[in-house]
Every structure is written in C-alpha cells, then in structure tokens.
C-alpha cells in the first residue's frame, strides 16, 4: 500500500465517519444508506443489530428519528488501524446533544464507536459498526433552543 493510497483511504474513511453523523442529524436518508455495504451490520448495544442500508434506514426511521425533535453529533478521537490495504478498523468517540420527543427533554449521550471499514471495487464503506453508550443523561431543566429564543434583541 503506497503512502498516497493510505492517505486517500484515511480521508475517505474520515468522510464516512462524518457522513454517518451528518446523515442522522440532518435526517438524510440517501447519505445514510450510501455508506453501508449490503452485508454490513450496525449494532447499538441495548437496541439491536441492523443489517445493510435497509437496516440503517429502519433504525433511523423507527428508532432514532422518532426519539429526537433534533440532535447534533460531535465526533472525535477517530483512530484508524490498517489491517490490510482494503480493511481498516476504527474507534472513535461521539457526543450527542439533543431534544427528546418524550417529555420535551434535552439530553447528553456519549458513545464509543468501534468500526470496520472495507474497500470493495475501489470504494470504502462501513462493514460493521458497534455503538457502546457510556452516558445517556437527561439534562434536568434544560431545553436546547436556537439563538434568539431566550433573549429579546437589545433595546426591545
């Protein structure tokens, strides 16, 4: 594997990592479906395992999106290990902030993602993702709101 191929692969995988977070936050079905191999598995501990692009959409449409009015993921600490030229293992941390539908309650969630990525016919996608939740913490008395909701403009 050349240094150039390794750098290009690393950039493509970093995009996949971000694409998953963006797709869930922005409710982009096309983006979410496009990042999984047909035989991929996405496991969220305590919720279940979902297979392929259809499983990812099922999880988003029937579990994640009905749970949140809105959410935002912050992904960090992505570390990649090349197992071979076409297989990479990854680990990364995610912080999610959002407003739950139930109780109109804000929440903080932290997870560790352990991933497997595969390149097939020159394309990188997820072959496996495991999400292990560290914290699922309702933020009592807090409701996240866009700028300007809580404060009147000056002079008002």
Q: Name the residue with tokens 């979902």.
A: 50
pLDDT of residue 154: 57
pLDDT of residue 144: 86
User: For residues 89 and 145, which has the higher predicted lDDT (pLDDT)?
Assistant: 89
From 5, 39, 73, 121, the catalytic residue: 73
> Residues 100, 107: contact at Cβ < 8 Å?
yes
Contacts of residue 27, defined as CB under 8 A and 6 or more positions apart, other chains included, come to 60, 65
Q: Confidence class of residue 151 from pLDDT cuts 50, 70 and 90?
A: low
> Residues 91, 112: contact at Cβ < 8 Å?
yes
Q: Confidence class of residue 146 from pLDDT cuts 50, 70 and 90?
A: confident
pLDDT of residue 134: 96
pTM beyond cutoff 0.85 = yes
pLDDT of 37 strictly over 90: yes
pLDDT of 11 strictly over 70: yes
> Residues 90, 114: contact at Cβ < 8 Å?
yes
Q: With respect to CATH, is domain 3-142 assigned 3.10.450.50? A: yes
> Residues 71, 97: contact at Cβ < 8 Å?
yes
From 3, 5, 25, 86, the catalytic residue: 25
How far CA 4 is from CA of 120, 141, 153, in Å, comes to 18, 50, 52
pLDDT of residue 150: 58
pLDDT of residue 147: 77
Three-state secondary-structure class, residue 47: coil
**Per-residue pLDDT tens over the stretch 79-112:** 999 999 999 999 999 999 999 998 778 999 999 9
Q: Confidence class of residue 14 from pLDDT cuts 50, 70 and 90?
A: very high
Whether 86 sits among the annotated catalytic residues: the reply is: no
Where exactly are the structural domains of the chain? 3-142
Whether 73 sits among the annotated catalytic residues: the reply is: yes
Question: How much is the average pLDDT of 13-29?
Answer: 98
């Amino acid at each position: 594997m050349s240094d150039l191929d390794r750098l290009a692969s690393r950039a493509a995988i970093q995009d996949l990592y971000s694409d998953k977070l963006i797709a869930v936050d922005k409710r982009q079905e096309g983006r979410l479906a496009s990042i999984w191999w047909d035989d991929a598995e996405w496991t969220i501990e305590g919720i279940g395992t979902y297979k392929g692009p259809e499983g990812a959409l099922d999880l988003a449409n029937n579990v994640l999106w009905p749970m949140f009015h809105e959410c935002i993921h912050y992904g960090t600490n992505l570390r990649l290990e090349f197992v071979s030229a076409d297989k990479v293992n990854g680990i990364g941390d995610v912080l999610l902030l959002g407003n739950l539908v139930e109780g109109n309650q804000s929440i903080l969630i932290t997870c560790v993602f352990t991933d497997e990525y595969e390149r097939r016919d020159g394309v990188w996608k997820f072959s496996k993702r495991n999400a292990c939740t560290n914290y699922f913490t309702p933020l009592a008395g807090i409701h996240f709101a866009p700028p300007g909701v809580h404060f009147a403009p000056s002079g008002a």
